[in-house]
Chain A
Amino acid sequence: MDADSDVALDILITNVVCVFRTRCHLNLRKIALEGANVIYKRDVGKVLMKLRKPRITATIWSSGKIICTGATSEEEAKFGARRLARSLQKLGFQVIFTDFKVVNVLAVCNMPFEIRLPEFTKNNRPHASYEPELHPAVCYRIKSLRATLQIFSTGSITVTGILF
């Protein structure tokens, strides 16, 4: 890495999505009634629970599958997931924390220069796709890394990826 200390491209992770299972049936009604920061969506069949300390929002299904979003790092995501499981335990369910998996990571990066999107698209034909009618950014997909980058003309880049 050359000249990194001078031009520090700070890439910030803004969102980490993870899933885990509790291996037990969860009574959504009970969680909804006794949880303090809970939204119960009965028509869809899920409960949204928000925690403050690692700021995360968890979607809980009655089958025991839980999706956690909003964490800013992988460790935080795991920490938040564990806290959530702990709070469910306190509510009285026999929770087992299994199959924790980080499913998606979102990061934002800023380039100090602006980018000419039509030319960029022409030069990167198979990977880049640009539809100004639909979205102002170029969608650049890297298949090998399974990542999608959204490149805006101001130089800010949003990276999304599913890692396994």
Chain B
Amino acid sequence: MHWWFWPEVELKLSSRLQRSPAGGAGKAPTLGGGFHVSLGKESRAQTLQNGRRQIHHLGNQLQLNQHCLDTAFNFFKMAVSKHLTRGRRTAHVVAACLYLVCRTEGTPHMLLDLSDLLQVNVYVLGKTFLLLARELCINAPAIDPCLYIPRFAHLLEFGEKNHEVSMTALRLLQRMKRDWMHTGRRPSGLCGAALLVAARMHDFRRTVKEVISVVKVCESTLRKRLTEFEDTPTSQLTVDEFMKIDLEEECDPPSYTAGQRKLRLKQLEQVLSKQLEAVEGEITTYQDAIEIELENSRPKAKGALASLTKDGSVEDSTSSLCGEEDTEDEELEAAASHLNKDFYQELLGGSVPGSSEAAGVPEEGRRPPALESLLGPLPTAASLGISDSIRECISSPSHEPKDACGDGELDLSGIDDLEIDRYILNEAEARVKAELWMRENAEYLREQKEKEARIAKERELGIYKEHKPKKSCKRREPIQASTAGEAIEKMLEQKKISSKINYSVLRGLDAGGGPPGEDGPPPREHGPPPGEDTGPQGEAARPPEWTSARRLSRRKTSSRRSRPDPSTSAGKRLRPLVSTQPAKKVALGEASLPSAHSLEAERVRPTVVVVESGPVSYHAEEDAEEEDAEEEDGEPCVSALQMMGGNDYGCDGDDDDGY
């Protein structure tokens, strides 16, 4: 019967002694013996337990049924096995698992709900969720806004007409889907719009504000959806018509129509500008024609002026035949002359505009085709260029050598030093800038100074703790041992726990140690093995005792070890605790629960007995208990409370001695 206690005793031992490697990054299951396997599993079990607890907590808040919670826990287990929980908050992973379940089951829960519960940014949760779905290769079906309608309708409280309004809203949504309003939009926004319209159709006054508070979108979003819906032909139908008829035609998505509208506007503008130019051209020709007429009707300029103008015209005509640049200059001159409208200038340059304009019109005619010819080759060249580069990239990924050949020297070709000089401020500017920066960042600088002052003060007082860089935990080599006992010895040597351990006893442990040690987690979770049941025990009484027993057993390793037969003694220690008279049990439970000062009170009384004689008295008590246990009777002399207090005391006494 006694070895029933064995597994959990061993585990407590192991958990105590090997706390850090198991708790930290100890994912490397050392196979040096049965002991080590249970250690790796224990940490994993703890993680899973923690995750399960969080899942249940969140799931209950969302009112998910048990099946969903179990599925979520399965996802969590998969995630843990794939090491996806590393570097991520468990809360995030748990939320992602739950949301995945919601999506696969089709429950009307939004990611927003989860983020509300956790007070975490939605996008952060979304990132975790996407990663999880990707890694677990689970295809979450797309959200259908129809799923949300019953939920929101219920929240908007339509009374008996709830079902009718929901049906109307569903029809509206389906119409919206056919009109391509729902791609790329938050489903909750669409739901809100549909519900609003449906409510109005059934004579319910629901304001935009009410709908927003339920649906959790912004007011402007809702309005936008409503206007988009207004643009569709369905909005023209009356209520009855809508319920009966379903229009055949489908609309384009609103963003696409908006884009098309912009394009059309641009095109219109271009056409208009061209027309304007043409019109302008016409106007200028008329203007020039008029001027020529005027000029001809005027008396001719004499002598030098005439020669000048004639020369100018000859030059102009020749130059106009040459390059575009010259004509452009002339264009500029013509434009300038037009703008000035100076009679005298016109006299001089009268011939100039005349000839240049003649060249100008065909030039203008030339201009649009020139642009087109310029634009023409661009896309094809671009497409060709890109294809080349793509081929290059895919075939030969070796760009490094080209750069390395520069070997650190800065290639100054094409770098304009003058402009770079402008980037460097002179002294006065530097001073001004320094002052500005100081003023802006005054707060931060002040904080830094305060921090430094504080550190200096602490240093003087000798309190200052240097934050040492954390030493990375050394990986221990797996212990090679032939028997469990040897393994324990080696491990203890490594850990350097205590010199009080009796190794001969350890070897004795080996005999019963093997198989039960592997059943680590279950017996621990299931509470005291059935063997020690001595009658009906209150549930409330058991856990506190158990925890106290656990606490006690954990601390008393050394003392236990020193016994000739620690397993039995340990078992027996627990037994007396548990198998006290049922009447006293309740008292124990009650006493242990408001533990703090009752224990304190208790402390005072047995102090004299226990502390003075430390371990000795403890052992004596233990012997007494053993005897009692063997008698299988409740302790006659020691009261339950005293025993509780006494045991705790013995514990502390040992602790003082051992450490």
A90 and B414 alpha carbons, distance in the complex (Å): 16
Q: For the complex formed, measure the closest distance between the CB of A151 and the CB atoms of chain B, giving whole angstroms.
A: 10
Contact A129:B134 (CB < 8 A) given known A1-B383, A34-B424: yes
Chain B, 337-387, CB within 8 A of any chain A CB? 379-380, 382-384, 386-387
Contact A164:B397 (CB < 8 A) given known A1-B387, A33-B433, A97-B409: yes
Q: For the complex formed, measure the closest distance between the CB of B104 and the CB atoms of chain A, giving whole angstroms.
A: 15
Q: Is A89 an interface residue (CB 8 A)?
A: yes
Q: For the complex formed, measure the closest distance between the CB of B51 and the CB atoms of chain A, giving whole angstroms.
A: 24
A133 touches B184 (CB 8 A): no
Instruction: Collect the chain B residues with CB atoms within 8 Å of residue A42's CB.
Output: 441, 444
Q: For the complex formed, measure the closest distance between the CB of B479 and the CB atoms of chain A, giving whole angstroms.
A: 42
Chain A, 7-43, CB within 8 A of any chain B CB? 8-11, 23, 32-37, 40, 42-43
Q: Is A82 an interface residue (CB 8 A)?
A: yes
A153 touches B255 (CB 8 A): yes
A35 touches B186 (CB 8 A): no
Which residue in A9, A10, A82, A133 is a CB contact (below 8 Å) of B126? A133
Chain B, 130-150, CB within 8 A of any chain A CB? 130, 133-134, 137, 139, 142-143
Contact A36:B408 (CB < 8 A) given known A4-B383, A130-B142, A136-B184: no
B406 touches A133 (CB 8 A): no
A5 and B375 alpha carbons, distance in the complex (Å): 11
Q: Is B111 an interface residue (CB 8 A)?
A: yes
What bracket does the count of chain B residues touching chain A fall in? Answer: 35 or more
A37 and B382 alpha carbons, distance in the complex (Å): 34
Q: What string of 1s and 0s marks CB contacts (under 8 Å) between B232-263 and chain A?
A: 00000000000000000000110110010000
Number of interface residues, chain A, beta carbon within 8 A: 59
Contact A153:B256 (CB < 8 A) given known A1-B387, A4-B383, A42-B444: yes
Instruction: Collect the chain A residues with CB atoms within 8 Å of residue B399's CB.
Output: 102
Chain A, 128-153, CB within 8 A of any chain B CB? 129-134, 136-137, 145, 152-153
B424 touches A131 (CB 8 A): no
Instruction: Collect the chain B residues with CB atoms within 8 Å of residue A9's CB.
Output: 379, 383
Contact A86:B185 (CB < 8 A) given known A8-B383, A129-B133, A131-B126: no
- Closest A residue, CB atoms, query B190: A132
Which residue in A8, A32, A87, A134 is a CB contact (below 8 Å) of B379? A8
Instruction: Collect the chain B residues with CB atoms within 8 Å of residue A122's CB.
Output: 142
Q: What string of 1s and 0s marks CB contacts (under 8 Å) between A33-76 and chain B?
A: 11111001011000000010100000000000000000000000
B393 touches A125 (CB 8 A): no
A85 touches B422 (CB 8 A): no
Q: Is B437 an interface residue (CB 8 A)?
A: yes
- Closest B residue, CB atoms, query A154: B255
B134 touches A154 (CB 8 A): no
B408 touches A97 (CB 8 A): yes
Q: For the complex formed, measure the closest distance between the CB of B529 and the CB atoms of chain A, giving whole angstroms.
A: 50
- Closest B residue, CB atoms, query A81: B410
Q: Is B423 an interface residue (CB 8 A)?
A: yes
A153 touches B382 (CB 8 A): no
Q: Is B292 an interface residue (CB 8 A)?
A: no
Instruction: Collect the chain B residues with CB atoms within 8 Å of residue A34's CB.
Output: 424-425, 430
8 examples of A-B residue contacts, CB within 8 angstroms: A8-B380, A32-B437, A53-B416, A79-B414, A90-B421, A117-B183, A118-B142, A155-B256
Q: A32-B437, A114-B253 are in contact. List 14 more A-B contacts (CB 8 A).
A: A1-B384, A11-B382, A23-B408, A34-B424, A40-B437, A53-B419, A96-B408, A125-B139, A126-B137, A132-B185, A133-B110, A153-B255, A155-B256, A163-B397
Q: Which 8 A-B pairs have the closest CB atoms?
A: A8-B379, A136-B184, A134-B126, A96-B408, A153-B183, A114-B256, A153-B184, A97-B410
B contact residues vs A (CB 8 Å cutoff)? 110-112, 122-123, 126, 129-130, 133-134, 137, 139, 142-143, 180, 183-188, 252-253, 255-256, 259, 379-380, 382-384, 386-387, 393-394, 397, 399, 403, 406, 408-412, 414-417, 419-425, 429-430, 433-434, 437, 441, 444
